[in-house]
Amino acid sequence: MRPLIRTARCCLLRARVRAMATLPMAPLAAAAISSAASSPTRPVFSSSRPSRLLLARFFPAAPAPAGPRGLRTSAAAAAAAVEVGGVKIARDDVVKEDDPTNNVPDTIFSKIGLQLHRRDTHPLGILKNTIYDYFDKNFAGQFDKFDDLCPLVSVKQNFDDVLVPADHVSRSYNDTYYVDSQTVLRCHTSAHQAELLRDGHTHFLVTGDVYRRDSIDSTHYPVFHQMEGFRVFSPDDWSGSGMDGTAYAAADLKKTLEGLARHLFGAVEMRWVDTYFPFTNPSFELEIYFQDDWLEVLGCGVTEQEILKRNGRTDHVAWAFGLGLERLAMVLFDIPDIRLFWSNDKRFTSQFSEGKLGVKFKPFSKFPPCYKDMSFWINDAFTENNLCEVVRGIAGDLAEEVKLIDNFTNKKGMTSHCYRIAYRSMERSLTDEEINNLQLNVREAVKNKLNVELR
């Protein structure tokens, strides 16, 4: 069954986001935006990306030069508009150079509307449809499917509606892409949970691209794809079971997700691990023993009662799960680098076919990396996420990894970091001149944008 698309909803969501953007900003939210504290903790189901939660841009023939903010690219990007759910989103709706709370670069705007999860012959689309098949077979006609909802959401939708504390680090400017003080690019598909509940949906799957400022390596990228599952139970559902509502929902959740894991991975050993999420209690992670190691597949739990009460479901219980499509697809298809998902190279795209899960990727090239080191004295405002944003703004996906290789503090109390940047294209060899120009531009942008002293 193909997904149930609500194109009119995108208009409604966007209108509500714009309306909320006119509201005054709460003090705690303002403090969160200005915060530059870096932390790996995220308010989402922890398995939603490779290496504890997860993407990318088309590999450029040559990187675009930096613009006025160091992260702006071409004039074409400025004039571009993308369409999501029948609604056109212009660059100026997302990249607001005159708004001090905006931290969305053109490299991120360029990902909106690409929706790799809706391409039936793409690994992410193949995986999404395989999950759909499982729910269609086992819960025929019950789950509504949404995979075309607008990624621009309000701070309330993204955080408050799913009980993320006001002082949580995920709200910071360092971790989340803010369009303005009250609008963000969703950092999880849970941002649509409350809206769908209020609209009367009790069983639904939401798939979409999500956005987070993050590090640069083979398993992390600031745009990736999640799927959220949600199911509501009424008192009649558990009244004859001998269990209370919470225990009933937890048992059904585990049974459902164990079946999904077998559907994707076959007859594998599984285990449940207790964990914590702000929006579920109890909360669990499902791990499977796969390729001689324990693999975290997804996070899930019984929905906090407060979320249900706020959205007209008093006396009900529900479960929710969240999984990262990239994380699972990299394992199922043997894809070694997350940037490959965004490649247009036919040597990659031709390897996959609709409905064929788990076709093993065959590497078509291995071009050598080029390493460049950069040392500088940091300041109190420095964060590694900000450094990675600058590097991406100059090098795009030619930046394969940014890694801290040295850290020391001198007698004057000044701290120096040395980062090693690996440049590599997965489609061609890079020239010495090209790499040297990239590194020169990166050094200049790091000095000017991050206000650090190069060594």
Q: Give pLDDT tens digits for 225-278.
A: 999 999 999 999 999 999 999 999 999 999 999 999 999 999 999 999 999 999
The model's confidence at residue 14, banded by pLDDT at 50, 70 and 90, is very low
Residue 41 has pLDDT above 90, yes or no: no
Residues 6+ positions from 137 with CB-CB distance below 8 Å: none
The answer to whether 69 and 97 are in contact (CB under 8 A) is yes
CB atoms within 10 A of CB 168: 18
Assess if CATH 3.30.70.380 describes domain 370-454: yes
**Fold of domain 82-350:** BirA Bifunctional Protein; domain 2 (3.30.930)
**274: which 2 tokens?**
């207790």
**pLDDT given at position 387:** 96
Q: How far apart are CA 205 and CA 189, in angstroms?
A: 10
- Which residue spans of the chain are classified as CATH 3.30.930.10? 82-350
Q: Are strands 223-233 and 203-211 parallel, antiparallel or unpaired?
A: antiparallel
CA distance linking residue 77 with residue 110, whole number of Å: 7
In the chain, CATH 3.30.70.380 covers: 370-454
What percent of the chain clears pLDDT 90, i.e. is strictly above it? 77
The confidence band for 45, taking pLDDT boundaries of 50, 70 and 90, is low
- Alpha-carbon distance of 2 to 161, in angstroms, equals 29
- How confident is the model over 81-96, as a mean pLDDT? 89
Kindly tell me if the per-residue pLDDT of 74 is higher than 50.
Answer: no
Distance (Å, rounded) from C-alpha 393 to C-alpha 364?
A: 27
Which among 135, 154, 152, 157 is positioned nearest to 230, based on CA atoms?
Answer: 135
Integer-rounded Cα Rg, in Å, for the chain is 22
Amino acid (one-letter) located at 275: T
Average pLDDT rounded to a whole number, residues 327-348: 95
